[in-house]
A = this chain, B = another copy of it.
Amino acid sequence: MIRTEEDVINYIKSNIKTTSSNVVKSIGDDCATIKVAKNKYLVITTDTSLLGPHFSKDYSPYEIGYKCLATNLSDIAAMGCDPKYIFMALTIPKLESNWIKSFYKGIKKLTEIYNIALIGGDTNRGPLSVSIQVIGENKHNILYRDGAKIDDDIYITGKLGCARAALMITGVKKYKKEFGLLKKYLHLPEPRIDIGINISKFATSCIDVSDGIAKDLYNITKSSKCGADIFIDKIPTHKLLKKIIPSKLFYEVLIGGGEDYELCFTANKKDAKKIALISKKYSLPITKIGLITRNKLRYFDNNKKVDICLKGFDHFSE
């Protein structure tokens, strides 16, 4: 029976050819990787964003364009690569000049920052849906989920939980001011391209936090065949969260909530100084939140072991 996205992936893997001679990484990471020349690789990702699961009616067309591209760029960042080309398959209910212009301004904001060329796509009429494909190139190594080594440190860029908190207080009158402060984390996430490229010289594994750090870290430990100890109290978040999130939901928002689009990566202890320098260079906190271990994924809060049972997001679960 096919009940979840994972079942679909498994069905494809068992029934359809998913690799060939130049395919370095197929289905199962943030991007696929193909070798195109000696030491030259392309990483490719494709994602569809829809009204409902990916953005709501509160988003301006600018924010829809920006976020749909940002989340795809985040997959390239997670591979430690440099985005070069994008393809845009846009389905919209009707052609409205202002909507189109504003949507493409959101796209342009990011193509300008990262010097990306939009080189193809198509436009159709139908229920709003944005499918974007991004092709990136490696500058140094390519980062995968399966390279974490025992005793590696686990790092996270930026803050976690802010996007989920913003989602929870969307439209809640008494938190209007707080929503104003947190909205950018949800509507306009920053893909961590520069950090990804810089850490690609030494990091052992990397993933972007799109389904909640708990699920994403689980994916790293599963792919790398290892465990991890995570220190929840070390995970940086916004000070507003303690104020607006009920304490029983705090873990869920901090580590179960998706859409932060920060990078979670692992590195040997000897690289701690390099990481501090990168953090300083880009004025972005990069925080050690745990340790790769031999087996089991364990969570601690102020040195006390806590049991976490979080389901990652699945588009087809009720």
The 7 closest A-B pairs by CB, nearest first: A131-B131, A37-B37, A36-B36, A32-B119, A32-B120, A127-B127, A46-B87
Can you identify 20 A-B contacts, CB atoms within 8 angstroms? A2-B101, A8-B95, A8-B123, A12-B104, A16-B118, A17-B115, A18-B119, A19-B117, A20-B85, A31-B120, A32-B85, A32-B120, A36-B37, A45-B120, A46-B89, A47-B122, A48-B129, A52-B126, A87-B133, A89-B131
Q: Contacting chain B: which of A105-113, A151-159, A166-174?
A: A105-113
Contact A126 B12 (CB under 8 A): no
Contact B124 A20 (CB under 8 A): no
Complex interface bits, A1-25 against B, C-beta within 8 A gives 1, otherwise 0: 1111101110110011111101100
**Could you tell me the distance between the alpha carbons of A20 and B136 in the complex, rounded to whole angstroms?**
13
Considering only CB atoms and an 8 Å cut-off, how many residues of chain A contact the other chain?
72
Known: A85-B34, A111-B17. A27 touches B127 (CB 8 A): no
Which residues of A in the span 77-108 have a Cβ within 8 Å of any Cβ on B?
84-85, 87-91, 94-97, 100-101, 104, 107-108
Contact A126 B50 (CB under 8 A): yes
Chain A residues with a Cβ under 8 A of chain B: 1-5, 7-9, 11-12, 15-20, 22-23, 26-27, 31-32, 34, 36-37, 40, 42, 44-48, 50, 52-53, 84-85, 87-91, 94-97, 100-101, 104, 107-108, 111-112, 115-127, 129, 131, 133, 135, 315-316
**Could you tell me the distance between the alpha carbons of A305 and B27 in the complex, rounded to whole angstroms?**
55
Copies per complex of this chain:
2
Q: Which residues of B contact A124 (CB under 8 A)?
A: 48, 50, 53, 315
Contact A46 B85 (CB under 8 A): no
Contact A315 B123 (CB under 8 A): yes
Known: A11-B104, A91-B129. A116 touches B37 (CB 8 A): no
Known: A32-B119, A36-B36, A116-B17. A101 touches B46 (CB 8 A): no
